[in-house]
Amino acid sequence: MIPSFPLGSFSGAIEFIFTPQNSNVTGGNKVGGFDKSIELVLKHLEVTVVALALALIIALPIGLYLGHRGKGELLAVGIGNAGRAVPELAVIALVAALIGVGFKTVAPALALLGIAPILTNAYVGIRQVDPATVDAARGMGMSELKIIRKVELPMAIPTVMGGVRSAAIVILATATIAPLAGVETLGDFIINRNVYGENGLLAGAILVALLALTIEGLLALLQRRLTSDGLKLKTV
Amino acid sequence: MSSPLPIAAAEVGGDFFRKRDVGDLCQAPPPKVFCFDWARENIDRYGTPTVQHLEIVVISVLIGFVVAFALALLAHRTRWLQPPLLATTGVLYTIPSIAFFFLLLPLTGFGRDTAIIVLAAYTLQIIFRNTMLGLANVPAAVKDAARGMGFTSRQILWRIELPLAVPEIIAGLRVAVVSTIAIATLVVFINAGGLGTEMYGEGNLTFPTTVIISAAIVILMALAFDGLLLLGQRLTTPWRRARSA
């Protein structure tokens, strides 16, 4: 039942990504190929981006506000710790069982996984800003909202973005098992092994890994752009 | 937009997820979120997956700790190694676990070895970074004092720097253990057992009870390990309590 994988499998997997291959279960129809790969990459990206945006909209304002007020440390840090203990597979399985399958239930479920790191890091980042700096801004007549936007957030960017990057990775990784809840992501190549074969399995793994590294790289770049030049000098 | 029903359960899970006989319990509609009768009768079946889960987590974290700790000591002495080691462990941490499992497939095949290699690789980043951070945070004055008392570099490392770095090291270990316990549910996809075997598969889409039980065991296990490590930190750093008291 369990297939064996010779070391040469990688060339077969690369071929699978670019040109359709024969499958033994689809009755002569070819599977895989460049168009299918692109389709699944886009679907994977779509569900990841939507979930990350949802998580940001919910978690970022709460984290920034709690950090600014210096309140709710137990909540903000506790959510972060508890979030790490939640098994992703159970979240997907439970959402599919209790609410239903499809994009509309899977995207919010994935967002749930991203909330914890974003909220905790936003809180911690803002709390780490020197209170004297905040007082100086207040003394200059800045409103509380302006203090968050112009003083605290820019100084907290490295920590805040650290949370966003963790969230992006966990959402993208969990999107790989989204086919279990009826959303066809790159995980389809991996999970429907009987359809796509061994080449598809490896091809899916390669594409997911490349996608994750690309997103992580882009977010690291974004973090550099968002960090003010003054702060960059300090860390060097 | 929407794909066909998740036949995937039968496809991938046929081999690796555990089969489950619900019998007559809780089968009458409306469907229940949690079926206590079934849980009472079937709680025994969670023993084996729990033990498998524990074994995989403990072995992975131990290997990860030994490797990351050694790398941190090396990088502590040889400073220029720090950026490349941080980058390498960061890349390992970024690759999603399921993809990582199957990328190793041609080398190590299905089973526990692959699972342990991947999970151990995931712990490297956090343990390495925190150990280095802890060592770097030791005040220079303390090291100078030790040198003045005639300590050798090796003695300073083992008797001054490392004990003072224990809080950071354990903080890293706590994050590593808790996340490894959660991620270990995914090793079912590489046929390495664990509590993930109870989370999907035949009929679980309409029977969430078993998902809830296995997820609860995972979360309790994480809490227990987290508490144990916190206790370990308190026992190994008695001076911290003295200061706060």
B53/B47 Cα distance (integer angstroms): 10
Give me the pLDDT at residue B11, please.
44
Instruction: Note whether residue A7 is domain-resident.
Output: no
Instruction: Note whether residue A25 is domain-resident.
Output: no
**Burial tier of A14 (Cβ tally within 10 Å: 0-12, 13-18, 19+):** middle
Q: Which domain holds residue A194?
A: 32-227
What's the CATH number where A52 sits? Answer: 1.10.3720.10
The pLDDT tens digits of the residues spanning B191-232 come to 888 898 888 766 556 678 888 999 999 999 999 999 999 999
Task: Inspect the interface and report whether the beta carbons of A209 and B95 lie closer than 8 Å.
Answer: yes
Overall average pLDDT of the B50-62 stretch: 95
| Largest Cα span, chain B | 78
Instruction: Note whether residue A103 is domain-resident.
Output: yes
A109/A82 Cα distance (integer angstroms): 16
Q: Is A176 on the interface with B (CB under 8 A)?
A: yes
Higher pLDDT, B42 or B154: B154
Give me the pLDDT at residue A6, please.
59
Give me the pLDDT at residue B208, please.
82
Which residues of A are less than 8 Å from B178 in CB distance? Answer: 81, 84-85
Give me the pLDDT at residue A191, please.
85
Distance from CA of A106 to the nearest CA of B (A): 11
Select from B8, B95, B99 the Cβ nearest to the Cβ of A179. Answer: B8
Segment holding B102, helix H or strand E: helix B97-103
Higher pLDDT, A28 or A236: A28
Is residue B66's pLDDT more than 60?
A: yes
Is the separation of the CB atoms in B182 and B222 below 8 Å? yes
Which residues of A are less than 8 Å from B222 in CB distance? Answer: 84-85
HEC string of chain B equals: CCCCCCCHHHHHHHHHCCCCCCCCCCCCCCCCCCCHHHHHHHHHHHHHHHHHHHHHHHHHHHHHHHHHHHHHHHHHHCHHHHHHHHHHHHHHHHCCHHHHHHHCHHHHCCCHHHHHHHHHHHHHHHHHHHHHHHHHCCCHHHHHHHHHCCCCHHHHHHHHHHHHHHHHHHHHHHHHHHHHHHHHHHHHHHCCCCHHHHCCCCCHHHCCHHHHHHHHHHHHHHHHHHHHHHHHHHHHCHHHHHHHC
Distance from CA of B6 to the nearest CA of A (A): 5
Is residue A21's pLDDT more than 50?
A: yes
Cα end-to-end distance, chain A, whole Å: 55
Report all structural domains of chain B as residue ranges with CATH numbers, in order of start. Answer: 47-237 (1.10.3720.10)
Question: Which chain B residue's Cα is nearest to A208?
Answer: B99
Dihedral sign (CA A22, A23, A26, A30):
negative
The pLDDT tens digits of the residues spanning A168-227 come to 999 999 999 998 888 889 988 888 877 887 888 888 999 999 999 999 999 999 998 988
Which residues of B are less than 8 Å from A192 in CB distance? Answer: 7-8, 11-12
* Residue whose C-alpha is closest to residue B187's, from B179, B178, B176, B196: B196
Number of domains making up chain A: 1
Is residue B129's pLDDT more than 80?
A: yes
Q: Is A183 on the interface with B (CB under 8 A)?
A: yes
A208/A222 Cα distance (integer angstroms): 21
B75/A19 Cα distance (integer angstroms): 45
Is residue A37's pLDDT more than 90?
A: no
Instruction: Note whether residue A16 is domain-resident.
Output: no
Segment holding A89, helix H or strand E: helix A88-98
Select from A1, A6, A90 the Cβ nearest to the Cβ of B214. Answer: A90
* Residue whose C-alpha is closest to residue A105's, from A115, A95, A114, A97: A95
A184/B2 Cα distance (integer angstroms): 8
Q: Is A208 on the interface with B (CB under 8 A)?
A: yes
Instruction: Note whether residue A10 is domain-resident.
Output: no
Is residue B3's pLDDT more than 50?
A: no
Give me the pLDDT at residue A162, please.
92
Q: Is A4 on the interface with B (CB under 8 A)?
A: yes
pLDDT band at B6 (very low <50, low <70, confident <90, very high): very low
Instruction: Note whether residue A142 is domain-resident.
Output: yes
Overall average pLDDT of the B231-239 stretch: 86
Which residues, including other chains, have CB under 8 Å from residue A160's CB and lie 6 or more apart?
A: A60, A63, A118, A121, A122, A125, A153
Cα-based angle B24, B25, B30 (whole degrees, multiple of 5): 100
Give me the pLDDT at residue B45, please.
85
pLDDT band at A3 (very low <50, low <70, confident <90, very high): low
The pLDDT tens digits of the residues spanning A39-56 come to 899 999 999 999 999 999
* Residue whose C-alpha is closest to residue B223's, from B168, B179, B178: B178
pLDDT band at A25 (very low <50, low <70, confident <90, very high): low
Instruction: Note whether residue A23 is domain-resident.
Output: no
In the chain, the amino acid numbered B36 is F
Task: Inspect the interface and report whether the beta carbons of B96 and A212 lie closer than 8 Å.
Answer: yes
Q: Which of A53-62, B31-40, B223-232 has the lowest mean pLDDT?
A: B31-40
Is residue A7's pLDDT more than 80?
A: no
Task: Inspect the interface and report whether the beta carbons of B199 and A87 lie closer than 8 Å.
Answer: yes
Interface size, chain A vs chain B, as Cβ–Cβ contacts under 8 Å: 169
* Residue whose C-alpha is closest to residue A61's, from A135, A153, A190, A194: A153
Average pLDDT value over all residues in chain B: 85
B48/B155 Cα distance (integer angstroms): 45
Q: SS3 for A22?
A: strand
* Mutation to test the B interface, candidates A11, A23, A84, most B Cβ within 10 Å: A84
The pLDDT tens digits of the residues spanning B161-199 come to 999 999 999 999 999 999 999 999 999 988 888 898 888
Task: Inspect the interface and report whether the beta carbons of B98 and A181 lie closer than 8 Å.
Answer: no
Instruction: Note whether residue A232 is domain-resident.
Output: no
Segment holding A21, helix H or strand E: strand A21-22
Distance from CA of A78 to the nearest CA of B (A): 12
pLDDT band at A5 (very low <50, low <70, confident <90, very high): low
Give me the pLDDT at residue B206, please.
65
Overall average pLDDT of the A57-82 stretch: 88
pLDDT band at B145 (very low <50, low <70, confident <90, very high): very high
Q: Is A236 on the interface with B (CB under 8 A)?
A: no
* Mutation to test the A interface, candidates B98, B101, B200, most A Cβ within 10 Å: B98
Task: Output b/e per residue, A175-191; b: 16+ Cβ within 10 A.
Answer: bbbbbbbbbbbbbbbbb
pLDDT band at A233 (very low <50, low <70, confident <90, very high): low
